[in-house]
Structures are given as C-alpha cells and as structure tokens.
Structure 1
Amino acid sequence: MQATRQLLSPGRWHLQHGPMDIIVQAEGDALAVAAAHARAWVRFEGLLQELVRELPALRAPVGEGECPLQGPVARRMWQACRPFRQDFITPMAAVAGSVAQELLSCYVVDGVRRAWVNNGGDIALHLAAGETARVGVYADIAALDAAQLQQGLLLDGAFSIASTMPVRGIATSGWRGRSHSLGIADSVTILATTAAQADAAATVVANAVNVQDARIVRRPAWEVKDDSDLGSIPVTVDVPQLPAALVRQALQAGLEKAQELQAGGHLWYALLSCQGQWMATPSATGLLEHAAPGKSGAVIEVGSVFA
C-alpha cells in the first residue's frame, strides 16, 4: 500500500494512504502554492509509517508521566489529549486533527494567502493577515444521498472565520462518524486554536452528550472494530428517536462539558446537535451565520469552503 495523490483542480489535491483521506487546497502566489503542495506531498508519503511505528503507545491511555512518544505528530496527539487524562483517552482521539495540522505547516509561508487541510472532516486552516474563510456545517451524515451530492448540499449553518480570530482548527465527533463515541450526539463541532486541540475536545464533548436509556444500543468497542484503542469500553452503535426532554438533557450535559473546556482554554466555540436540537457555547457576534433546526450535524467542509 502506497500513498497516492490526485489533482482535483488548480491548487486542490486529494491525498490518500490507508485511513488517511485528505483534501488540501491553497490559494496565493502560484509558485508559492506549488512549492507548498510539493512539501506537503513529501511529508505525507512517510507519515502513516511514522505513526504505525509508535502505534502501541498511541493506543495506550494518556497518563500522568512524560510523553513516551518520539515523532512530532505522535507527540502532538499526546499533548492535545493530555488535559483530558483524568478520563480514559488515548492519543488516537486527536490523530486526524494532528495529521491535518502537520500538513498545514507546509503552507504557512509567504505567498500562500489561504490554505486548508481536511482530514475526514477535521480541518486545519491557514489564513494570512486580512483573510477570511467560510466553513459549512452539515447535519446528519446518514441522510446524505446521491441527489444531494449532485444538486448541492443545503447547509445547516456556516462559520465565518477571520484571520484575527484565534481559530485555526475545526473538528467534529459524534456517534454517526467514522470514530467511536460514548455519547449520542449526532455531531459536536469544535473550533479551537489548532486542529489537534479541536479533535481532542470534540471527542470529549461528544462523549459527554449522553443519557441512560435502554433503547440506546452500545457494544464493546473491540466488537465494532477489532483493533479499537477503546478495548471493551461500550460505544454507541444505534440511537432510536428519543423524547425531546431526554435529548435536551443529553445536550445540556455536553454543553456543560464544553463550557468547562472553554473556560480552561481548550476550545473557542462548540456547536452541539442531536436529533434536530442544537446547543452552543457563547460565541463572537456573527461567527455562526445560521443554524437550521430540523437536522443534526456532522461538520463538513464541502469543497467551496472559502467564500
């Protein structure tokens, strides 16, 4: 298995290697953008093997001692998860955001005005002074069908991010996503200083969006995926339609966790969604353009993130 890349349009590439499935786009001086793409490809080619070499330690719970990892991305994963070590968490909770952040570093140079690295919905952003980006929020990934993809997605909301904001990372977690969750959120979207921080915080807040109800189906993580870093911990595999009051209770629990992390400086903004209901931490005026109730959301940057 080798890393592959495909040019999608000028300045926009698809990079793939094993579980890493990444869209990269950059704007600015043509020569600077081309050179940045070349550096990112060189870095990407060996990145999966670099992580695999330390996989046992990456799947071990983050503890109180010194970081046992050697690689820069592995160490970034561990550091992003360290604030949450009082609960069970492994560095894998921040893998997608940390990889995106590593590749983005290739674009933070003179001549590149804007760039983004989207690793399965976890996004690292570069915005030069005076630049802005618009990032769409789409709800309920399970509801996507071919017609929507052809006709264009009707977004549930959009974040407007300016270079003056302390936000360069966006991540989403929830039980419907590609990663396991202990909670019942359809999505928790986090904006943070870095993509690694956003990824770890999204995991923690999504786990907290939870209630106990016999109709919610949970299974040991290793039964869902045999090499899961969560082992025998029960993860959510199905959530039936719940009474509105229970959904609010679950979202309120998640919101309280998000506010705790916000107060501690671990995230800048959180948007929580479950079965058509939404809750969010206080935000700067104009950050969220709109949030359409009636859906629930997984974060998606959809091609034309920049506007």
Structure 2
Amino acid sequence: MNSPQAHWLADGRRLHLNHGPIDLIVEAFGSDDERRAAYQQAVTRFQTVLIELVEELPELRLPAFFLAPRDFAGPTARRMEAAVMPLAECFITPMAAVAGSVADEILAAMLAGRRLDRAYVNNGGDCALYLGRDQSMTVAIAGTGNGMADRVGIHAEDGVRGVATSGWRGRSFSFG
C-alpha cells in the first residue's frame, strides 16, 4: 500500500490528500494563519485514517445490528457505525458510510481549535461542510448532463453539514 500523499492543487487554494482508495479535496476559508493551521491538522490526522480502518475492516463489513451497536476503536469507524444505526433494521454495514465518515473525520481535525469562516472536505462526492455564522456554500453535482446547472446553495442556518453523492453513478453504490 502506498503512503499518504498531500499536495496542493494548481490553484494553490485546495489541498489534495490521497491514500489508497481515499481521495480528498480539502479547502478552508478564513485568515491565512487559521487556514494554514487547519490544513496542517488535516494532513496530520490523515496519516493514519486508512490504517485505522484496515485494522477494523472485518468488523466494518458485518451488518449493523440495531440492538447492539459496536464499540469500534477508531473514531472514523465509530462515525461509520453511528451513521448506519438508524437503518440497522435493514441490511446495512458501516461501509455504506465510509466516504462521508472519512470526510467528517478530516473536517473535524481541521476545525479543532481553529477559527475558520467555512471549509469542506470532498471525498469523491461525499462532502463534509463547515459553515460559520452567516456563511454559505454552493455545491454542484457533476456528471448529470446539465453542465453545472445542478447547483444548490447551502446556508449556515439550514443545518446541512454534508452532501452524499458518491453512490449515484459512482463506484460505490451499495448497502456497504
């Protein structure tokens, strides 16, 4: 397995983090110092995310059971389990929530102790969003055949903190 990679995209604003199947685009908005610190925190946290998930992979591939949520060791695995528990009466495994949970985990690392206006982590179409007071973000779904017409504005007061699109026409549409 390759090691975690981090590099700036050509625009100099967005950070690309890649490790095995995890492919993130990260962007933070705020003062230069806060953004730099948030990006460093993202890189630091990213170093072990895949390794932690691989260690718990056999259990993550088992169906969630609504009467007995499991206590996973890693924070990303715990996020995955929590995300699927509302659907645990059906067949679903925590793997259904892997992309969004990785995005959430990296965003949480970026925000720890930071003062950002807004930020996002895009993991192949599953995006975790942070919107500070009075902030907004426009998101689009690419590949719909409508150019960039399929856009939606998300405002801080909406309470939306994530968008999951990776399963639609993607490589991972499944129940996990």
Q: TM-score, normalised by structure 1?
A: 0.53
Give the secondary structure class of the aligned counterpart of 2:158: coil
CA RMSD, 1 decimal: 1.8
CA contact under 8 A between 1:136 and 1:159: conserved in structure 2?
yes
- The structure whose Rg is larger is 1
Q: 1:137 Cα deviation (Å)?
A: 2.4
For residues 166 and 110 of structure 2, the distance between their equivalents in structure 1, rounded to whole angstroms, comes to 26
Structure 2 equivalent of residue 113 of structure 1: 117
How far the C-alpha of 1:33 sits from its partner, in A, is 0.5
Superposition deviation, residue 69 in structure 1: 1.5
Alignment match of 2:59 (pick from 34, 57, 78): 57
Query: Partner of 2:128: helix, strand, or coil?
Result: strand
1:25 aligns with 2:27: yes
The one of 160, 163, 167 equivalent to 2:153 is 160
1:101 is the counterpart of 2:100? no
CA 1:25–1:95 in structure 2 vs 1: closer, same or farther (change >3 Å)? same
Identity of aligned residues (%): 44
The equivalent residue for 1:76 is 79
- State the Cα distance separating 1:71 from its structure 2 match: 1.0
Distance 1:117 1:175, change over 3 A: closer
Partner of 1:206: none
Which deviations, in whole Å up to 9, do the C-alpha atoms of 1:240-290 show, x marking residues without a partner? xxxxxxxxxxxxxxxxxxxxxxxxxxxxxxxxxxxxxxxxxxxxxxxxxxx
Aligned-partner Cα distance in 2 for 1:172–1:29: 30
Q: Which runs of 5+ in 1 are unaligned?
A: 144-152, 182-202, 204-228, 230-307
Distance 1:77 1:6 in 2: 27
Q: Say whether 1:171 aligns with 2:129.
A: no
Which structure is higher in strand share?
1
The correspondence of residues 245-284 of structure 1 with structure 2, limited to 5 A, is none
1:40-90 CA-to-partner distances (Å, cap 9, x unmatched) read 101001110011000000000001213141211101100110111111100
Against the structure 1 CA distance between its residues 174 and 45, is the aligned structure 2 distance closer, same or farther, given a 3 Å change threshold?
closer
Find the residue that maps to 2:142 and give its secondary structure: strand
CA distance in 2, matches of 1:169, 1:6: 24
Inter-partner Cα distance in structure 1 for 2:134 and 2:169? 36
Aligned to 1:88: 91
Q: Distance in 2 between matches of 1:20 and 1:110?
A: 24
Q: Which aligned runs of 4 or more in structure 1 are off by greater than 4 angstroms?
A: none
Question: What is the DSSP-based 3-state SS (H/G/I as helix, E as strand, rest coil) of the residue aligned with 1:10?
Answer: coil
**Contact 1:11–1:33 under 8 Å retained in 2:** no
Deviation at 1:176, TM superposition (A): 2.5
1:12 touches 1:23 (CA, 8 Å); kept in 2?
A: yes
Q: Deviations over 1:126-167 (max 9, x none)?
A: 111111100012344xx7xxxxxxxxx822321111111110
Partner of 1:4: 5
CA shift digits 1:9-66 (9 cap, x unpaired): 3331110000000100111100110011001101001110011000000000001213
| Aligned amino acid, residue 156 of structure 2 | S
The one of 39, 46, 49 equivalent to 2:41 is: 39
* CA distance, structure 2, for counterparts of residue 103 and residue 48 of structure 1: 12
Distance 1:175 1:36, change over 3 A: closer
TM-score (norm 2): 0.90
